[in-house]
Structure 1
Amino acid sequence: MQGSAQVTAPRAEEQRITISHAGYNRAWAVWIADRLEGYGWQVSFQRWDPPIETPLAEALSDLLLVEGRILVVLSDWYFKLGPRTDQEWNEALRTVVAPHSRRFAAVSVSTSPMPTASAAFGGTTELWGLGAREAERRLVRLVGAFDAHDPSLDTLAGVRGARFPMELPRVWGGVPRRNARFTGRERLLQEIHDQLQGAEPGAGVVTLLGLSGVGKTQAAAEYTHRFASSYDVVWWVAADQRGTLRQGLAELAPALGLSTGHEYGERLRAVGDALRRGDPHVRWLVVLDGADRPETIDDLVPSGPGHVLITSQNRDWDAYNTHLLSVPVYQREESVAFVRRRAPRIGRSDADLLAETLGDLPLALDQTAGWLNDSTMTVQEYVAMLRDDQDIEVGLRVAADFDTSYPTAFSILLNRLRETVPEAVELLRLCAFFAPGAIPVQLLREIPAERLPEQLVGLMSDPLRWNAATNRLVQYSVIQWDPPNAEDEPHAAGTIHLHRMVHQTVRSGMSETDREIFSRAVRHGLSAADPGTPTDTRNWPAYARIVPHLDSSGALHSRHTRVHRLIYHCLHYLYVAGEYTAGIHLVERAERAWRELFGEEHPLMSDLASYHASMLRAVGEYARTERINRGLLARMAAEGRAESLGALRVLEGLAADLRGLGRYQEALDASERVLAGNLDLIGEEDFRTLNARSNLAVTLRLLGEYRTALAEDRRTLQARRELMRARNSATLSSETAYALDLRLLGRYSEAQSLQEQSVEVHRAVLGVDHPQTLSAELNLALCLLRAGERPLAHDRLADLLERVERVLGERSPLTQQIATCYSFVLRAHGRLDLARTLGERTVRQYRQALGPDHPYTIGTLANHALVLRAAGEREEALDLNEQCLTRMTEAVGPNHPWRLGIALNLSADRNIAGDVESAAELSRDTARRAANNRGLGREHPLTLSCKVALATDLRNLRQRAEADKAEEDALSGLISTLGSQHVHTVSARARVRPFWDFEPLIT
C-alpha cells in the first residue's frame, strides 16, 4: 500500500456485503466489488429485478435475508424497473429500509432525481461524474473501511482490477448509443456473458438469432455497453453485406494503432492478425450486426482470444462454429414495462392491450408507443383502427388474435410523421430504394440535385432541415443513425440503418409513379458514386458500398447507359476482388432483367455473358463457359464482328476455357490469335495486349514449355511495372507467374526470393484471403518445399487449405490445387492416412468436374499411387502407375514433363517388383526425353533425377560403368544448379531413389 492514509479491514462481524443493483448498472457493481475486496470485504451480488406482481415492500424485505450489510446501487433503472411509481417507492423505503438503516448504504450512479425517501438509506454518496480515485475514496468512506485522517492519497486499493465504469474501453467504434429505454432481456444478457466468458480462446462466438424487429441489435448493443468494462477494444460493424463488413473491419486498423498504409487489403490483413494474436489488446469484442448470409462472410469472422457477437435472422450460423442464442419476442411483463417506459402516459392495462395487439414485438412496440405518447389518440382507439382496417397489406402478422399486420400498424406512424415533419417521410421513401440495412449517407449526397424529387432538394442542401428530419426518424425508431468517425472517415457523412420491415412497408405503400421517381433518383446517385476504375484496390470500398443497392434501386431494370456501365464496373470489381459467388448472383439477376428488357440478341447481353463466363470459370465451370463463349463468337461472326476487340476478348475467354478443360494445343492456337490480334489493333503497350501475353504464357506453361513461358512472363512483368504501378494487381499477378516459371525450371532460390517479397505486397494490397494472394502463397510454400524446408512448407499449406476452403469452398479450382499439394507433403511427412483421404478426395472431385481423361485427374491418380507404394500396397501402385503413364501420354504426349514424371515413378515401381530390365529401359527412355525436352534441358532437376534413377537401374543390371557415369553426371549437375547441400543433392549422393509429385497449375 502506498500513501499516507490508513486503510483498515472491516470488523469480523461485518466482513460480508451484498451489492444490490439493476442489470443495467452491472459495470458499477463489478467495479465496486473489485474495490471493496481490496479492503478485505467478502462481496456477493444481488441483481434487482423483482417480478411485477411482487409488492415492492416484500421484494425489499427479501434483501434483509442476506448476511452482513447491503449496498444499493441507485439509479433510474433501479427505481423504474417494472416500472414502479415514486409513491410506491417512498412507502416501501419508509416501511422496510428506515427501520434497518444501519444495514443499508447506497451509492448513486445517475443524474436522475431519486425518490424523496431515499434518505432512509443509512448513508448515500454520489459517484456519477467523478474520477476513479475520488469515487473510490467516497466509496470506502461510505462503507466504513477507511480510517482517513489525511484526505489526500495517491493510491487506495493498489493495483487496478475492473475498469472504472466512467471509462470507455481504449478502442471504441461504431457502437450504437445506449438505449435508455432498454427493458428486460436479463436472462439473455447473462447467457451471452456466460457463453463468451466461458469459451476457450478462439471459440468465443455467439450468434443472436431471431426474426425481424425482435430486438437482436438492441440486445447486442446493451450487452456491449453493460459489459464494456470487460474489454479493451469494442468494435461494431454492419455485416449485412460482405463489402461493408470488410470495410468496417479494415477501419479498425488505425484505431488499434497498427502500422499500415492506406491500402484496403493491408488494413484488413493487419486487423485480422492483430486480433488473432491479441496484440496490442487481448480483451476485444467485435459485433457483427445483421449478418444474415453466413456463407458469404464466415471467413471474415475474427478469431483469437477475444469475443465475437453476431446478430442474424439466419439459423445456418449453427454450422459455422458459433453458439446460437434465440431472441424471442418480449414476455408480456417485459412488453408492459417497455411500453410504460416508452410512453409514461399509458397505464398498465392499456400497455397490456397494446402488447397483445402487436404480439410483443419490440420494434412494433417501440415505434407505436413512441408516437402514442405524443398523440391524443388512446390505445383503445388505435387498436380499433387496426381491427377495422379492411385493406390489410401482406406482411408480418404481429398477433394471432387480431387481423393486423406490421405494415398496417406502421402506416399510422407514417401518417403521424407526415403531419409533423413531412420531409422525414420523403427522406424515408428515398432510403427505401436503397437496400435495407446500412445506407451510407454519402450515397444520398451523391444524388444530383436536379435528379432529386422536388420535396427533397431543400432538405439535402440545408443541414438544419436534414437534422430535423433524421432526428425525428431516429426518435420514433424508424431508422438508426451512426455518425461518421472523424478520424478514419474525414469525408464520410455517417450511416443510416433501415430495418428490413420498415424498408418493405414503406415501398409497398408507394404508388408506381412515386416508386419510379425515387428509384430513378437513387440510380443517378449510385452512378455518380461510381469511381470508374474497379481494378484499383483503393476504389474497392466505394464499390462495396454501391453493390448492395443495385437491386433495390432498380438499377438492373434501367435502360440508362450510365447505369449499365455502373453494373459492368461492379461486376468487374467483384471479379478482381475475388468475390466470385456474389458476382455470379449479380450477373444472373442482371441477365434475367436485361433479357426481359432488351431481348436475347441485344449487344448488352453479349458483354454480360462475358462477365458471366469469367465468374463461372473462376469457380471451375469450364464446360459451361466454353458453350457461352462459342455462342458469343458465333453471334459476333454473324454480325461481322469476328475480328473486333470484343471478339478477341471472347476468344481469350475461350482459350482459358480450353486450358481448364485440358485441351492445351487448342488453347495455344487461340492464345496466339488473341495476342496477334491485339498487337495489330491496339499495339504492344495496351493493358489488353499485356493480358493476352500473360495468358499465352499460362498456356505455354501447361504445355511444359517452361523456358518460353518464362520469356513471355518476364516481358509482361517488365511492361506492367513500367506502365502500371508496382502494387497493381496485374503487376503482382505477373510476379507470381514469373516466380512460378523460375521454380518450374529449378531455379528455386530466385523464385523464393521474388515470391517472398511479392506475397507481402499481395497481403497488404489485396488482403490475406484474396484468391490471388492465396495463389501467391501457394507458390511460396512450394518454393520452400523445393528448397528443403518441408516443415515450414507443411504448415503453410495446412493454413492455406483451411483459408481457401473458407473463402472459396471445397470444390473451387484453387482449393483443389492447394489440397493436391498438401496431400503429397503429408505423404512426405509420413501422415499416410490423411494424405490418402485428401488425395482420394481431389481425385474424385477432379474426375467429377473434368472427367477421367483430364491431365489433372490422371496426375492426382499418379500421386495416389505414391501413397499406395508408401503404404506397402506395391502391386496396386504399379498397376495404377502403368495406367497413368498410358493415359497421360495420350493426354499430353510422350515428352511432356508430367508424363516424364510419371515415368520416373513407374520405373521405381517396376524395380521394386523385380522387373529390373523393364525399369532400366523405361529410365533410359525417360532420361533421354527429359534431356532433349526444350522446356527442361539437361540441367533441370527433373532431368537429373531421371539420371539418378537410371544409375540405380543400371547398377541393378550390373552395368556399373554406365551407372557410375550417369550418377556422376547427375551429381555434378545437381551441385552446379542447386548446390552440394541441397536436399536433392544430398539424397542423390546417398543413392535415395527420387520420385516426382504432380502439381496442378493455374489455368
Structure 2
Amino acid sequence: MPVARKQVGATGTSTVTISFAGFNRAWAAWIGDCLERRGVRVVFQRWDPPVDTPLEDSLRDLMLAPGRILVILSDWYFQLGPRSQAEWNKALREVVAPDADRFAAVSITTATMPGATSVFAAADLTNVGAEEAERRMLARLDLTAGPVPRSADAKPAPRFPADTPEVWGGVPRRNTRFTGRERLLNEAYHALQEAGPGAGVVTLHGMSGVGKTQLAAEYVYRFGAEYDVVWWVPADRRAIYRQNLAELAPELGLSTGAEYGERLRAVRDALRRGEPHSHWLLVLDGADEPEQIWDLVPTGPGHVLITSRNPEWGEHNSNLLEVPVYRRDESVAFIRRRAPRLTHTEADQLAEALEDLPLLLDQTAGWLNDSDMSIEEYIELLQGGIDQDVVKVSRDFPVAFQTAWSILLNKLKETVPESIDLLRLCSFFAPGSIPVRLLKEMPPGELPEQLTGLMNDPLLWNRAISQLRQYSVVRLESHESVDEEASSTGESLYLHRMVHQIVGKDMPERDRKEFIDVVRRALAAADPGRPIDATQWPAYAEITPHLKWADVLESTDPAVHTLVLNCLRYMYFSGEYRAGIKLGERAMTAWRDLLGGTHPRLWDLSYNLANLMRAVGDYAGTEAMERAVVDHLRDERGGQDLEHLRAASGLAADLRGLGRYEEALEMSGWILSTYRELLGDTDSRTVNAQNNLAISLRLLGRYEESRELNRRTLEARRQLLRARHSWTLISEINYATDLRLLGRYGEAESLQAQSVRVHRIVLGEDNPQTLLAEHNLALCRYRSGERGKAAPAFTRILERSERVLGEHDPLTLMFAASQSFFAREHADIDQARTISEYAVDGYTTMLGEDHPYVAGTRSNHALILRSVGERDHAHMLTEAALDQMTRAVGENHPWTLGCAINASALRNLVGDPESAATLTDACVTRATETLGRTHPLTLSARIAYAADLRGIRDNRRADKVETEALGDLVATLGAQHVHTVSARSRTRPFWDFEPQII
C-alpha cells in the first residue's frame, strides 16, 4: 500500500535539520532552498566530529537537533581514513537503527559506503537532473513534490550543484582528498560576501607548498554555485594573466575582434559594470608579484580571490588571509585518507617529521601507502640515513623536503623510469605552468633516442604523466576534460617550484645536456617569428619566461639565437623594457664569450638592446654602443652595408635623444638617400628611414617638412602593411602631432581620436604606444579648448605610465610635463609645482644640464613660480632657460621663441618693460620667418608684443599689432577659440614646452 505524502503545514515535518560535510555545502544550500520554499523550517548542521570523540557520542549529539534529520551521504561525510568502516557500522547500528524514523538521507556519491548506511534508506541523487533530484529528496521526506512558484522579491535560488555556473573556465579538478581548512574557507566566504561593490578581494597568502591553490579550488567548488561566472587565471606573469583574462571575452558573449588587447579591455569593462553577469568570481592563482598586476585586477560587483606568497597584496585593497601549515589533526586526517594503511599514531609521527606541510604530506603519503617500508624506517631516512648533507632548498622549504624527494624519486625510477625523463624535461621550463605540448610538437628526428619513445608513444606518455600525478608531483592543466586518460595529452602540466628546484639539483650531467637541448629546440620551434605583430604577443608571453630556465644564452644553435632576438623585439614593442634590457645584457655577455666579439649575431643583439635602452632614456649608453658598431661595420663592410645602415639609424636616434638634432638630421638624411639607392622607395627599411628623418625635422622645429614626410610615410605604411600594424599606427601619431604643432587642431584631433580607438583594440590600453596616442589626443583637445575632456585624460595617462613604465621613464616624464602645465592653469597649482619639479629633476638626471628638454621644463616651471608670487626666482629661471635653449637649438627654433615669450613676461613683472618689448619684437620677426605669420606661436608672440608695447606706452602701435593679430586669430582658429577669447580680453599669452618622442 503506498505511503501518503504529507502536506506542508500538516502534522509531522515542519523542521528539517540538514547534516552535511563542509565539502558538500552546495548540496545543503540547494536542498535547504527547496524545503524553505515549501514552508519547511531548515536548520543547517555541518558535520565535522572530532576524531578523538567516539562516533556514537557525535551521532547522539546530532539527534539533539530539532525535527527530522536529513543526512547528505558522501564519502566526505564518513571521513573514511580517519574512521574505519567498522567504526561507522558499529555506530550506525547502535545509535541510528533504533530510531531510524528520525533520519532520512540522500546520497550524492557512487563510492562504496559502510554497509550499515542502508539504515538511512537514502534517496539516490546522482546522475539525475534538478527536477528529479528534488522529487526524490521530497519523496524521502514524505513531502509533496509539486511546483512551488518563487515570489518576485525572493533571493536568487542556489544553483543545482551538479550544474556548473553559466561561464566556467580554467578551474583545476576538485581535490577529492582535500582536508580541513573549514575556518579559512568560511572566513574567505564571509569576507567576500560582506565587502562592498568593488572591494570584494581576498588574498590567500602563505609559504610554498602550504596548499593555497588547493584551498582556492575548494572555495570555487564549495561556493561556486552562487556565481554565474567562475574564471580561473594563472597570475604568476603579467602577460599570461592578461592573455587568460582576455579569453573570458567570448565566454561572456562580448562582441570584440581577435586582438587580445581589445578583448581584455572589453572583459574588464564588462566585469566592472556587472553586465551581462554581476555575480562573478575571478581567481588569480600564483600572483606573487602584486606590483606587476594589481592595476589589472577587475573592480565591480563580483569577487576576486588571489593566491600568493606575497602579503604585499594588503597594500592593494585586498583582505589578507594567511594560510598556515596544517593543524596536526588535519595532517593526520589527510595522511590517513592518502595512506589508509597507516595508523593514527603512524600518521602523527609522519606529520611531525614532515612539519605538517601539505605538499610534502601529499607526495610522501601517496607512495608510502604503496610501500612496505615502516614509518620508523622512513623517518630514519629523513633524519639523515640516506643523505648526510640534507639542507633546506630555500628558506621557505622544510628541512625534510630534499630527503623526502630523494626517496620518492627512487620510487618513480623503479616503476615508470620515463616519468623521470619527463620530469627532468619539465625542470628546464620555468616552474608553474609548463607547456609540454611544445615538446609533443617537435619533429621525431630532432629527439634523442632516450626520449623518442616517451614523445612518440601516447600510451607511454600517458603512463608517465599518470605516475607523476599519482604522487602529486605534477597536476594537469587541461582542466575541462572529463576523460582522465584523454586529458593526459593536455597542453600543460603544473610543476610546483619546490619540486622544480629539487629535480634540477638531482640530475646526471649527461641527461642535463640532452634534456636542456630538447627544451631549447622546442622553444625555438614555437617562435611565431613575428614579434612586431600584436596578435602573436600571447605566444611570446608564454615563451619568454622559460628562456632563463632553458639557459638559451649558452646555445650555439642559430634558431635559438633568432628566438632570443625575437623575444627582445617583442619586449620592445610590447613595452616590457626593463625585462628586455636584463635579457639583452645577459645575452651580450654570454654571446661575446660564446661567439666572439665580432660575430654577426652581436650586431643584431646590440641593435635590439639599444632599442630597449633608448626606450628607458639611456641615450649616452646607446650612443657609445651604437657608435662602436657603426665604426666597426663601416670599416669592415663599407658605408652601404645594410647592417651598417641599421646601426647608423640607431645612432641617429641616440643623437636625437641627446639633443644633437643637427647631427641626427644629417645622418638621417644620408641613411634615407642610401636606402632609396639600394632598395627603392617602397622597401620597409626605406620607409622607416623616412619616418626617422621626419622625427629629426620635427625636433628642429621644421614642422611643415616633418608633416609632409610623415604624410607620405603613413600612406606608404597603409599600403605596405595592414592598417592596424603598429608601425602604421605610430605614423598616425606622428602625422597628427605635426598637424597639432602647426595649429591644425581639428584635423589632428579627428585623426588621433580614431587612432586611439584602434590602439586600444590592437595593442591594449597600457601599451606605451597606446599611452602616447592618448597623450597626443589629450593635447589636441587641450589646444582646441576642450579642457573638460583633456583634464581627466592627462591625469589618467600619467598614473598609468608611472604604474606600467615607472616614474623615471622618458614617456612618464613627457606626460608629467603636460600634466604640470595643465594643472598650473586649470587645476591645483601646488600639484603643478610638485609634478614640474619632478619633471625638471628627472630630465636633468637623465639628460644633463645642457639638454633642451631641461631648458624647456625649466621655462614651464618658471611660469609656476610666477603664479605663486616668486617673481624674482621665476625671472632668473626663465632667463637661464632662454639662454640655455638658445645655446642648445639656436635662436630661431620654436622652442627658443617660446622661451622668449615667457621671459618677456617676467621682464615686465620685474620692471624691465623696454627689454621685454625688444625681446618680443625680435621674437615676432623670427617666428614669422620660421613658422609663418599665422602659426599659433607667432600669433602668441604678436599678442605678447602688443602687451609689451603698452608697457612702454606705445599704445598706437600696440593697438595696430593687436588688431592685426586678433584678425589672424579669428581667421585661423575661430572667434570663439580659447586663444582668441584670451587675446581679446588682453590676457598675456604664455608658451608651454612639450617634450617630443625621439
Which TM-score applies when normalising by structure 1?
0.92
**Aligned-partner Cα distance in 2 for 1:800–1:401:** 42
**Residues 945-960 of structure 1: pairs in structure 2 closer than 5 A:** 945-960=940-955
Q: Are 2:262 and 2:760, in contact at CA under 8 Å, matched by a contact in 1?
A: yes
Q: Tell me the CA shift for residue 947 of structure 1.
A: 1.9
Match of 1:713 among 710, 713, 716: 710
Please tell me the residue identity of whatever aligns with 2:364. Answer: T
Equivalent of 2:832 in 811, 831, 835: 835
Q: Distance in 1 between matches of 2:844 and 2:15?
A: 72
| Larger mean Cα displacement after TM superposition, 258-267 or 90-99 | 90-99
Tell me the equivalent position of 2:510: 513
Cα separation, 2, equivalents of 1:973 and 1:141: 90
Maintained 8 Å contact 1:763/1:773: yes
1:437 correspondence with 2:432: yes
CA contact under 8 A between 2:346 and 2:375: conserved in structure 1?
A: yes
SS in 1 for 2:549: helix
Q: CA deviation at 1:760?
A: 1.3
Measured in 1, the distance between the counterparts of 2:356 and 2:766 equals: 43
Q: Give yes or no for contact 1:393–1:408 (8 Å, CA) kept in 2.
A: no
- Tell me if structure 2 keeps the 8 A contact 1:209–1:312: yes
Matches within 5 A, 1:564-583: 564-583=561-580
Change (3 A) 1:880 1:68: farther
Q: Tell me the distance in 1 between the aligned counterparts of 2:129 and 2:606.
A: 65
Counterpart pick for 1:210 among 206, 210, 217: 206
Asked if the contact 2:687/2:717 (under 8 Å) is kept, the reply is yes
Q: Are 1:591 and 1:605, in contact at CA under 8 Å, matched by a contact in 2? A: yes
Counterpart position of 1:173: 169
- Structure-2 residue corresponding to 1:534: 531
Q: Which whole-Å CA distance do the structure 2 matches of 1:908 and 1:26 have between them?
A: 75
Q: Matches of residues 190-229 of structure 1 in structure 2 within 5 Å?
A: 190-229=186-225
Q: Which amino acid aligns with 1:284?
A: W
Q: RMSD across aligned C-alpha pairs, in angstroms?
A: 3.1
Change (3 A) 1:19 1:686: same
Partner of 1:504: 501
User: Match for residue 370 of structure 1?
Assistant: 366
Partner residue of 2:85?
Answer: 86
Percent identity among equivalent residues? 57
| Contact in 2 for aligned 1:441/1:495 (Cα 8 Å) | yes
Alignment gaps of 5+ in structure 1: none
Is this contact kept in 2: 1:288–1:308, CA < 8 A?
A: yes
State the alpha-carbon separation in 2 of the partners of residues 816 and 304 from structure 1. Answer: 32
- The 8 Å contact of residues 10 and 40 in structure 1, kept in 2 or not, is answered as no
> Quick check: 474-483 or 847-856, which moved more?
847-856
Q: 1:263 and 1:827, CA in 2 relative to 1: closer, same or farther beyond 3 A?
A: same
Deviations 1:310-358 (A, max 9, x none): 3233445454443433322222211111111112222212212222222
Equivalent-residue separation in structure 2 for 1:668 and 1:91 (angstroms): 94
> Cα–Cα, structure 1 residues 970 and 362, in superposed 2: closer, same or farther, change >3 Å?
same
Task: Describe how 1:638-717 pairs up with structure 2 within 5 A.
Answer: 639-641=636-638, 643-717=640-714
Counterpart of 1:930 (choices 927, 931, 944) is 927
After the TM superposition, which of the residue ranges 432-441 and 574-583 deviates more from structure 2? 432-441
Alignment-mate amino acid for residue 960 of structure 2: K
What is the aligned partner in structure 1 of residue 259 from structure 2? Answer: 263
Q: CA-to-partner distance for each residue in 1:600-621, whole Å, 9 max, x for gaps?
A: 4544334323322211111112
Does residue 1001 (structure 1) correspond to residue 996 (structure 2)? The answer is: yes
1:55 aligns with 2:51: no
Letter in structure 2 aligned against 1:449: P
Quick check: 1:765 aligned with 2:768?
no
What per-residue deviation string (whole Å, max 9, x for no partner) do you get for residues 783-839 of structure 1?
111222112111122221222122111111111111221222222323222222222
After TM superposition, give the deviation of residue 780 of structure 1 in Å.
Answer: 0.9
**Residues 895, 44 of structure 1: alpha-carbon distance in 2 compared, 3 angstrom cutoff:** farther
User: For residues 624 and 421 of structure 2, what CA distance do their matches in structure 1 show?
Assistant: 48
Give the superposition deviation at 1:779: 0.7
For the 8 Å contact 2:203–2:321, the answer to whether it is kept is yes
1:131 aligns with one of 113, 129, 136: 129
1:452 corresponds to: 447
Equivalent in the alignment of 1:22 = 21
SS at match of 1:737: helix
Q: 1:421 to 1:299 in 2, by over 3 A?
A: same
Say yes or no: does 1:729 pair with 2:723.
no
Q: Which residue of 2 aligns with 1:902?
A: 899
* Cα pair 1:240 1:438 within 8 Å, conserved: no
Partner residue in 2 for 1:523? 520
- C-alpha contact 1:287 1:310 (8 A) present in aligned 2: yes
Structure 1 residues 60 and 645: CA distance shift in structure 2, 3 A = same
- The partner residue of 1:799 within 796, 801, 812 is 796
Please tell me whether the aligned partners of residues 70 and 105 of structure 1 are also in contact (alpha carbons under 8 angstroms): yes
Match of 1:977 in 2: 972
Residue of structure 2 aligned with 1:620, choices 606, 617, 620: 617
Residue 71 of structure 1: how far off its partner (Å)? 4.5
Give the superposition deviation at 1:752.
0.9
The change in CA–CA distance for 1:679 and 1:337 in structure 2 (over 3 A counts) is same
Cα deviation per residue 1:28-67 (whole Å; 9 max; x = unaligned)? 2333444444455565544332332233333344445666
The match for 1:31 is 30
Relative to the length of structure 2, the TM-score reads 0.92
CA distance in 2: counterparts of 1:401 and 1:943, whole angstroms = 69
Which moved further from structure 2: 663-672 or 404-413?
404-413
Preserved CA contact (<8 Å) 1:587 1:612:
yes
Q: Give 2:424's aligned amino acid.
A: R
Q: 8 Å contact 2:233–2:282 — kept in the other structure?
A: yes
Of 232, 235, 238, which aligns to 1:239?
235
Whole-angstrom CA distance in 1 between matches of 2:586 and 2:395: 35
Counterpart in the other structure of 2:545: 548
Is the 8 Å Cα contact of residues 359 and 400 (structure 1) preserved in structure 2?
no
Q: Contact 2:353–2:400 (CA<8 Å) still a contact in 1?
A: no
Write the distance in 1 (CA, Å) between the matches of 2:96 and 2:961.
Answer: 102
Please say if 1:883 is aligned against 2:880: yes
Q: How do 1:336-355 and structure 2 match up within 5 A?
A: 336-355=332-351
Tell me what 2:484 maps to: none
Match for 2:149: what amino acid? Answer: T
Contact kept, 8 Å, 1:739 with 1:751, in 2: the verdict is yes
> Is 1:816 aligned to residue 813 of structure 2?
yes
Structure 1 residue 477: deviation in Å? 1.3
Amino acid at match of 2:421: E
**In 2, Cα distance between the equivalents of 1:881 and 1:888?**
10
Secondary structure in 1 aligned to 2:569? Answer: helix
- Given the alignment of the two structures, is residue 470 of structure 1 paired with residue 503 of structure 2, yes or no? no
Contact 2:198 2:299 in 1 (8 A): yes
SS at match of 1:433: coil
Superposed CA offset, 1:733-764 (max 9, x none): 11111111111111111111111111111111
Structure 1 contact 755–776 (Cα < 8 Å) conserved: yes
What amino acid is the match of 1:962? Answer: R
Query: Secondary structure of the residue that 2:547 maps to in structure 1?
Result: helix
Q: Which residue of 2 aligns with 1:334?
A: 330
Partner SS state of residue 240, structure 1 = coil
Matched residue count: 987
Secondary structure class of the residue paired with 1:305: coil
The structural deviation recorded for 1:985 is 2.2
Deviates more, 1:107-116 or 1:883-892: 107-116
Which stretch shows the higher mean deviation, 776-785 or 300-309?
A: 300-309
The Cα offsets for residues 875-901 of structure 1, whole Å up to 9 and x where unpaired, read as: 443333233222222222222222222
Instruction: Show structure 2 runs of 5+ residues with no match.
Output: 482-486
2:835 aligned partner, one-letter code = L
CA distance in 2, matches of 1:645, 1:758: 32
Could you tell me which amino acid in structure 1 is paired with residue 954 of structure 2?
Q
User: Is the 8 Å Cα contact of residues 794 and 815 (structure 2) preserved in structure 1?
Assistant: yes
Structure 1 position 464, deviation (Å): 3.0
Query: In terms of mean alpha carbon deviation, does 565-574 or 265-274 score higher?
Result: 265-274
CA contact (8 A) 2:353 2:379 kept: yes
Maintained 8 Å contact 1:182/1:222: yes
Whether the 8 Å CA contact 2:105–2:123 is kept in 1: the answer is yes
Q: Would the aligned equivalents of 1:430 and 1:518 in 2 still touch at CA under 8 Å?
A: yes
Give the drift of 1:398.
11
Give the whole-Å Cα distance in 2 for the aligned partners of 1:979 and 1:116: 92
